[in-house]
Amino acid sequence: MAETAASPTQSSAEQNLSARVSPARQLAEAFTAGSLAGTVELSELPFLTMVGLRADAGSETAQRLAAATGGLPAASGAVATTGDTSVLWLGPSEFLVVAPTEAHESLGGDLIPALREALGNDAGQVVDLSANRTTFELVGPRVRAVLEKGCSLDLHPRVFKTGTAFSTEIANIPAILWKTGEDSFRIFPRASFAEFLGRWLLDAMREYASPEVP
């Protein structure tokens, strides 16, 4: 967690960061307590850099944005990853760029200025959405069972492939679900839904703390 005590040696960017409170900060201890090592673990990855892009697919604008991000995904579920920057498909002309915290403009990152420059004055959007959503990481062999309690997508690995992401509903709230590995998902709920979804996931995980009834 980004809980670094402020000290005189910090840069102003670091001080800014230490003053921020992530949307699910109040659940950090509960996430630790509710996580089951080797079964299913939940944590918040706060303050990832997220940028909303809108541009007509195939347009010159989209091509310039693609050049800046390293590529735009083409269809539902697709994620275009280059280095530590990923672009998720949200709609035919809407994308979400996800990058590490330090990619943010306020911390000296050049991702957002580069995208803004690529858009220029053309029709479209480059919007800093870093504060719009937070990120939950759910890992472990039981993640699918936990998510299946509140997500109607088919999460079976033969259908839901590693490296794909879908905008859908989890526990009746809108969220983006990104399968980052065989047994790991990132979930992006809106900041205002973070506490609800966090508590819902803890509740859904709870049964796996007990030994399985044969």
Partner 1 sequence: MLLIPCPNCGPRDETEFHYGGQAHVPYPENPNELTDTEWSRYLFYRENPKGIFAERWVHSTGCRQWFNMLRDTVSYDIQAVYPMGTRRPDLAADPAVEAGTASTAADSTTTGTAAPSLSATSLAASPTRTAPEGATK
Binding site for partner 1 (CB under 8 A): 56-57, 74-78, 90-94, 152-155, 159-160, 164, 166-169, 172, 174
Please, what is the minimum distance in Å from the beta carbon of residue 89 to partner 1? 8
Sole residue written with tokens 């809106």: 190
Please count the other Cβ atoms lying within 10 Å of the Cβ belonging to residue 106.
15
Minimum distance from CB of 52 to partner 1 (Å)? 12
- Locate the DSSP E strands across 6-108: 41-44, 49-54, 79-82, 85-91, 94-99
Q: Which is nearer to partner 1, 102 or 148 (CB)?
A: 148
Residue 16 CB, nearest approach to partner 1 (Å): 32
Give which of 111, 151, 117, 141 is closest to 129, Cα–Cα.
Answer: 111
Q: How far apart are CA 139 and CA 180, in angstroms?
A: 9
Minimum CB distance to partner 1 smaller for 35 or for 61: 61
Task: Give dist(CA 81, CA 37) in Å, integer.
Answer: 28
Give whichever of 17 and 97 is closer to partner 1, judged by the CB atom: 97
Comparing CB distances to partner 1, the nearer of 58 and 108 is 58
Work out how close the CB of 2 gets to partner 1 at its nearest, in angstroms, rounded to a whole number: 29
CB proximity list for 62: less than 8 A, separation 6 or greater: 55, 56, 72, 93, 124
